[in-house]
Structure 1
Amino acid sequence: MATASLYSAIILFLLPLQLIAVPLCPRDCEPVDATDRDRIQFAQNLEFLETEYFLCGALGKGLDAFEPEYAKGGPPPIGCKKANLNHLTRRVIEEFGYQEIGHLRAIKRTVGGIPRPLIDISSENFAKLFDKAVGYCLDPPFDPYEDKVKYLLGVYAIPYVGLTGYVGTNPCLKKFSSKKLVASLLGVEAGQDAVVRGWLYRIADEKVEPYNITVLAFTKAISRLRNKLGHCGIKDEGLMVPLELGAENRTTSNVLSADPNSLSYPRTPAEIMRIVYGTGDEHRPGGFFPEGGNGRIAREYLSNSKLKVL
């Protein structure tokens, strides 16, 4: 009898702690129920986007000029264009592009690839994104291919989303081969993001020509927009943050975006689609993917407007 009373007391004591631990995030921010294959193939949508943006920006030609079979018959990207980059930046971005080809190969060999979705990396699409981020129409329209700084801000808008997707996916994977692949992909994605953030941090206070907006302000605006579109709180931060969001609450410097324990933020497939579609709705395509992503996860969200968790 005494033992039963003790157990009851412990349960009553722990119950408030359980309630406190329940995240405030809505249900549709939780991981989807999917296989390792589904999850990694979903991530391939972002890999395709990065491949095309990097190769086009550095060389003026995309995946089809190097490994066309990896596209599996998917349409070529909209707006492929060589950016006006200096020698150093072009070399680094070219390397990033080749790395992305390797990522597509690794995914194809491990789980089988998906057809490349229709991808829009046009100047016009980026202009819409940056207009939405700053809250008004920039004049002239933002063109990431115009110079190095604008191109790097365009890069800022892409790889980090894939990085958070891998962080969110990894704990849900079952097979060792899947975890090994995603950990390896995440390492390079994080490196790419760090290189770009580091470059932008050095010029954070410089104004982006011809706008009266600093590099720092643009990064804050893009991160704020992605948090808004994702609907799941702060998982994105600009190059400077309030002290309460800095590492150990001791710095406003934010070269790497991370949570209060300096761990990378995770995102679910639904959050990612809301962001890369630019619609804030995983069921409504647009933005970088005018016809939506490919693979079971993306296509099931598109075919079922009531679907929240697969």
Structure 2
Amino acid sequence: MALSTSASSTTALITAFLLLLRLSSALKDSGSDKLPKSDVDLLEFPLNLEYFEAEFFSWGALGGGLDTFAPNLTMGGPSPIGARKARLSPHIKDIIAQFALQEFGHLRAIQKTVPGFPRPLLNLSAESFATVMNNAFEKPLQPSFDPYANDINYLLASYVIPYVGLTGYVGANPKLKSPTSKRLVAGLLGVESGQDAVLRTLLYQRAFVKVYPYEFTVAEFTDRISSLRNKLGKKGLKDEGLIVKPVQGAEGRISGNVLAGDQDSLSFDRTPEEILRIVYGSGNENQPGGFYPKGGDGRIAKSHLRRQIRNF
């Protein structure tokens, strides 16, 4: 009887051990190494914009980028062109420095989940931003716009790209299949939307201030930039400035627009193709340029670059 009890206990222990092994294997299979390929593509694509934000914010506030503060995150990609420290007040500098460090974390979080790719070549020169502003106003601004000149210029330059990444996360989320992917994107979107809210609030406080030495106010700049992004994206209204017609504001009742959203005040969404059209400045996902002289990286961006070569 004692032997039978001992044998039963041993059998129970072995069964429990096998169950633990199966559970461990199941958990591993649900991890990042088993993400659907479509999820990997959608998670890698935002690295293009996360690299941009990390470099622009870090250089603007700290006077150096990933090569100085987190070289392991570059994965060997080329250093950005024309980035430099901005002339910022202590308060704005502190906020932008926080953004920079947050972007370092975003890069690390994505790279821990998917293979990732090296930092693409980025053109963060004053001339690159000036081109965007000239296109937004449909004429050359005189003197040429300098994003690094002061608080207002830098905040307006910060308005140009980061919000585009936010809409990309909104667009990607319903297409993701894995809980791991959805959790990562939700975490990224939470902080990215917070950054956008801070930037828009800082600009909204200055909405009717003229951007020296131009005749246009901060609100007019944001309206022009948003209109340009809508035009380049080619998918209708997915962008709004700080001041809108009351019918376009929250519940169709207010012109102040500190946060952009649709008729139900939900964030707008964009596809990778729309994003490429905007950040390339060409209105064509197959035609690189603007902030990405050689185009973006990752399977999605590269598939469009290969299409350009085939059509050449």
Q: Distance in 2 between matches of 1:137 and 1:306?
A: 31
Q: Distance in 1 between matches of 2:244 and 2:306?
A: 39
Q: Corresponding residue for 1:52?
A: 55
Deviations 1:100-144 (A, max 9, x none): 000000001011221100001100100111000011001110001
**2:85 corresponds to 1:82:** yes
Q: Distance in 2 between matches of 1:123 and 1:181?
A: 33
Q: Give unpaired runs (5+ residues) of structure 1.
A: 1-32
1:192 to 191, 195, 198: 195
Secondary structure in structure 2 of the residue aligned to 1:304: helix
Secondary structure in structure 2 of the residue aligned to 1:104: helix
Q: Corresponding residue for 1:225?
A: 228
Moved over 6 A (4+): none
**2:254 corresponds to 1:251:** yes
Q: Distance in 2 between matches of 1:290 and 1:305?
A: 14
Q: Give unpaired runs (5+ residues) of structure 2.
A: 1-35
Aligned-residue sequence identity (percent) comes to 55
**2:175 corresponds to 1:175:** no
Q: 1:51–1:62: 8 Å Cα contact kept in structure 2?
A: yes
Q: Corresponding residue for 1:101?
A: 104
Q: Corresponding residue for 2:33?
A: none
Question: How many residues of Structure 1 are paired with residues of Structure 2 in the alignment?
Answer: 275
Q: Corresponding residue for 2:304?
A: 301
**2:154 corresponds to 1:151:** yes
2:60 is matched by which residue type in structure 1? G
**2:145 corresponds to 1:142:** yes
Displacement of 1:80: 1.4
Q: Distance in 2 between matches of 1:241 and 1:34?
A: 40
Q: 1:70–1:113: 8 Å Cα contact kept in structure 2?
A: no
Q: Distance in 1 between matches of 2:237 and 2:271?
A: 14
Q: Corresponding residue for 1:237?
A: 240
Q: Distance in 2 between matches of 1:147 and 1:178?
A: 38
Q: Distance in 2 between matches of 1:168 and 1:105?
A: 22
Secondary structure in structure 2 of the residue aligned to 1:284: coil
1:188 is matched by which residue type in structure 2? V
TM-score by length of structure 1 reads 0.87
Q: 1:241–1:254: 8 Å Cα contact kept in structure 2?
A: yes
Q: Corresponding residue for 2:4?
A: none
2:301 is matched by which residue type in structure 1? A
Deviations 1:15-62 (A, max 9, x none): xxxxxxxxxxxxxxxxxx961111111011000000000000001100
2:133 is matched by which residue type in structure 1? F
**2:298 corresponds to 1:267:** no
Paired residues for 1:13-24 under 5 Å: none
Q: Distance in 2 between matches of 1:232 and 1:55?
A: 32
Q: Distance in 2 between matches of 1:242 and 1:154?
A: 24
2:125 to 104, 107, 122: 122
Q: Distance in 1 between matches of 2:161 and 2:99?
A: 13
Secondary structure in structure 2 of the residue aligned to 1:35: helix
1:159 is matched by which residue type in structure 2? P
2:75 to 60, 69, 72: 72
Q: Distance in 2 between matches of 1:259 and 1:66?
A: 38
Q: Corresponding residue for 1:166?
A: 169
Give the root-mean-square deviation of aligned CA atoms.
1.3
Higher relative contact order (CA 8 A, sep 6+): 1
2:52 is matched by which residue type in structure 1? L
Q: 1:55–1:93: 8 Å Cα contact kept in structure 2?
A: yes
Displacement of 1:71: 1.0
**2:286 corresponds to 1:286:** no
